[in-house]
Structure 1
Amino acid sequence: MKQRLLLAFFALSLFFTGCGSDNGLDGNWIKGSSFEGRIRGGAVSFVIGDDVYVGTGYDGKDALNTFYKYSLQDGWSPIADFGGIARHEAVAFTANGKGYVGTGVDEDGNRLADFWEYTPETNTWAKVANDFIGGARQNAVAFSINNIGYVGTGYGFQEGEDRNNLKDFYKFENGNWTKIAFDGEKSKNATTFVINDKAYVISGDNSLKYVWEYDPSKVSETTNGWTSKKYLDKDNKRQDVQRTNAVSFVISGKGYIVTGKNGGYSREVWEYDPNNDEWVERTSLEDEIASRENAVAFTLNNRGFFTTGLAGSVYLDDTWEFNPTMKETDDDN
């Protein structure tokens, strides 16, 4: 049944979006091992060593608490269920060899502020003593630099008012949360990646106009560590970079933004080089890859992947790897 639904969606997607292949652009998409668990969107992922951990999310009926580990050598395998309330649209990061998952929304629409810590050696979850001090929210972003976690933006409460896009940011260090500055706009459903101990926050609903770079080594009494980089507008023809519910990964010191929506579903793939603050278009999602939102992405051994996600009303479990040095080929298995 799922295969028939996917084939029907692929045909419909191609009817509306047209051919997904590119003429002369660098990069090739290679089909990987499908996600082992229930199909889902709005999941989270975090990487510890050579393994990625993917879990939580929503399957169209239920919020999920199941989690799976993936390695290039061993494929997918289940781990202990997430310790907190089942949720989707949460965030995750890694610090000191442990994974952290928090915020999000449960299946009844209640936004959450708790965080949970995963220890891979014991395959156990433990509640973090201190809840996220930024308040309950969903669709935030998270990253880690030098074993310090950062969480910000999203949709939720601020100053006692609900239904707000947010622009606040916080760091998690030694079990404690501290508010930090953020110069960007209010946003939700943004995406972020880290290159050379600098984080880059881009896109989202109420789209961030700039690429925002955060360098914690520059934080001082006179600067907060944030720098606005490339201005993303129609004048420099980078409007296709802007999108909501996209995902991103890093390969060889460059960031890649894929999937998501910009009016319709986005098939374009863009590469960001922080050394010269420039975006370059790469091979878009190929015809056999369903356009989607609410996927997860990760980097393993300098290889970039995305998996799961939502395409219309269809939830997905396929996994795709991007090789930026290859030309597009017909044999992607």
Structure 2
Amino acid sequence: MKQRLLIVLFALSLFVTSCGSDNDLVGNWIKSSSFEGRARSGAVSFVVGDYAYVGTGYDGKDALKTFYKYSLQDGWSKIDSEFPGAERREAVAFVANNKVYVGLGVDDDDERLGDFYEFDPTNDTWNPIPVDMTDGPSARQGAIAFTINGVGYVGTGYGFQEDEDRNNLKDFYKYDGSSWAKIAFDGEKSRNSTVFVIDNKAYVVSGENSLKYVWEYDPTKVSANSNGWTRKEDLDDDNDWEEVQRSQAISFVINGRGYIATGRNAGLSREVWEYDPSRDHWDEKTSLEDEIASREDAVAFSLNNRGFFTTGTVVGSGAYFDDTWEFNPTMEEDDDDN
């Protein structure tokens, strides 16, 4: 009996040691070519073909309007054609009908913007005529945007709702390249959430005022009885993955799984988490490595099934970043890679 008890205690000790060790976490951050433009936060990013684009934002003194593109072969280069709208930060970007739309945000005078502009990626040029905003989202900052099957979606954020004072918002809209239509959103008012798309379904994660929520949007489920939104497993304190909760985070997709990193929840978050939609479950990955500064308000993108993030800030510190990092979710951490 005593020998059996010792064996059980030994097995339990191995289990606890295994579960509590960071060495079991998988994933490696690899430094990539630094962002070509001025270090900034609150930028937008989007991907078209083999290029990722990053632009607008705030450099600590001024709102910005410059854009740069990145490819795995050529690195970063500036887009010569100028964004025709005002300088801004905390804007959004999405793709609709093979064109890119950038808009919303806030300018240097703290005025929230409601305009959108069209970008043609075939020749890197902007349409100087703002998209008609009739029936579209009102002026706001800190909103989210995504694309499913060539239709762009924009919602949440911080701004004015009709005649009310500034507030967090929950209204959502879709844009098909010609007109806006309002859609229902079953979630809470929020700002600075993050969103990623897997298999034509969008996953809205966390954000200020809705830290513990994850919502899936599937446009094929929209019907008389459903708005297309499904609440997924909550990020609450009863689970081991409450560290997923944060605002101003980045997210990207690799091999059909979503990843979330950076951002803020009380303090700056260094934990990295992977979402598997087939299991509706989050698994912890290797945290940001020591060489990577904690930050918020960065941007991320997935390019050729590889995940990257760049830029960002530490609010109130005066620190703004232009480093770029790639995450390999299956590689063990290796200090020699950085």
TM-based fold match above 0.5 = yes
The code of the aligned residue for 2:45 comes to S
The code of the aligned residue for 1:68 comes to Y
The code of the aligned residue for 2:132 comes to N
Q: Which runs of at least 4 in structure 1 moved beyond 3 Å after TM superposition?
A: none
User: Does structure 1 residue 302 correspond to structure 2 residue 310?
Assistant: no
Name the structure, 1 or 2, with higher relative contact order (CA <8 Å, separation 6+). 1
Q: Which of the numbers 312, 319, 323 marks the counterpart of 1:318?
A: 323
**Could you say which residue in structure 1 is the equivalent of 2:336?**
331
The code of the aligned residue for 2:98 comes to G
**Could you say which residue in structure 2 is the equivalent of 1:100?**
101
Deviation at 1:263, TM superposition (A): 0.8
User: Does structure 1 residue 268 correspond to structure 2 residue 271?
Assistant: yes
Deviation at 1:231, TM superposition (A): 1.0
Equivalent residue of 2:296, what SS? coil
1:19-168 alignment, distance < 5 Å: 22-79=22-79, 80-126=81-127, 127-131=129-133, 133-168=136-171
Equivalent residue of 2:117, what SS? strand
Deviation at 1:260, TM superposition (A): 0.1
- Is this contact kept in 1: 2:96–2:175, CA < 8 A? no
The code of the aligned residue for 1:69 comes to K
CA offsets 1:46-74 (integer angstroms, 9 cap, x no match): 10011011000000001101000100011
The code of the aligned residue for 1:96 comes to N
- Is this contact kept in 2: 1:128–1:175, CA < 8 A? no
**Could you say which residue in structure 2 is the equivalent of 1:219?**
222
Deviation at 1:160, TM superposition (A): 1.4
**Rg larger in 1 or in 2?**
2
The code of the aligned residue for 2:318 comes to S
- Is this contact kept in 2: 1:105–1:112, CA < 8 A? yes
Deviation at 1:199, TM superposition (A): 0.2
1:149-188 alignment, distance < 5 Å: 149-188=152-191
Q: Distance in 2 between matches of 1:22 and 1:65?
A: 41
**Could you say which residue in structure 1 is the equivalent of 2:251?**
248
CA offsets 1:238-293 (integer angstroms, 9 cap, x no match): 21000010010000000000000111110000000000100000000000000000
CA offsets 1:125-145 (integer angstroms, 9 cap, x no match): 113431272210000000000
The code of the aligned residue for 2:61 comes to K
Q: Distance in 2 between matches of 1:191 and 1:185?
A: 14
- Is this contact kept in 1: 2:97–2:177, CA < 8 A? no
Q: What's the % identity of the aligned pairs?
A: 70
Deviation at 1:163, TM superposition (A): 1.8
CA offsets 1:220-242 (integer angstroms, 9 cap, x no match): 12211000001110001221000
CA offsets 1:276-325 (integer angstroms, 9 cap, x no match): 10000000000000000000000000000000000232000000000001
- Is this contact kept in 1: 2:157–2:169, CA < 8 A? yes
CA offsets 1:9-30 (integer angstroms, 9 cap, x no match): xxxxxxxxxxxx9422000000
Q: Distance in 1 between matches of 2:212 and 2:265?
A: 14
Q: Distance in 1 between matches of 2:51 and 2:256?
A: 20
| TM-score after normalising by structure 2 | 0.90
Equivalent residue of 1:325, what SS? coil
CA offsets 1:126-170 (integer angstroms, 9 cap, x no match): 134312722100000000000000000000010212320001100
Equivalent residue of 2:165, what SS? strand
- Unpaired runs of 5+ residues, structure 2, are 1-20
- Unpaired runs of 5+ residues, structure 1, are 1-20
Deviation at 1:95, TM superposition (A): 2.5
Q: Distance in 2 between matches of 1:199 and 1:232?
A: 17
The code of the aligned residue for 1:232 comes to L
**Could you say which residue in structure 1 is the equivalent of 2:18?**
none
Q: Distance in 2 between matches of 1:159 and 1:190?
A: 22
Q: Distance in 2 between matches of 1:94 and 1:257?
A: 22
The number of residues matched between the two structures is 313
The code of the aligned residue for 1:32 comes to S
Q: Distance in 2 between matches of 1:207 and 1:332?
A: 36
Q: Which of the numbers 234, 257, 266 marks the counterpart of 1:231?
A: 234
- Is this contact kept in 2: 1:303–1:321, CA < 8 A? yes
Deviation at 1:208, TM superposition (A): 4.3
Q: Distance in 1 between matches of 2:64 and 2:91?
A: 11
Aligned-residue RMSD, C-alpha: 1.2
Q: Classify 1:61/1:116 alpha carbon distance in 2 versus 1 (closer, same or farther; 3 Å).
A: same
The code of the aligned residue for 1:324 comes to P
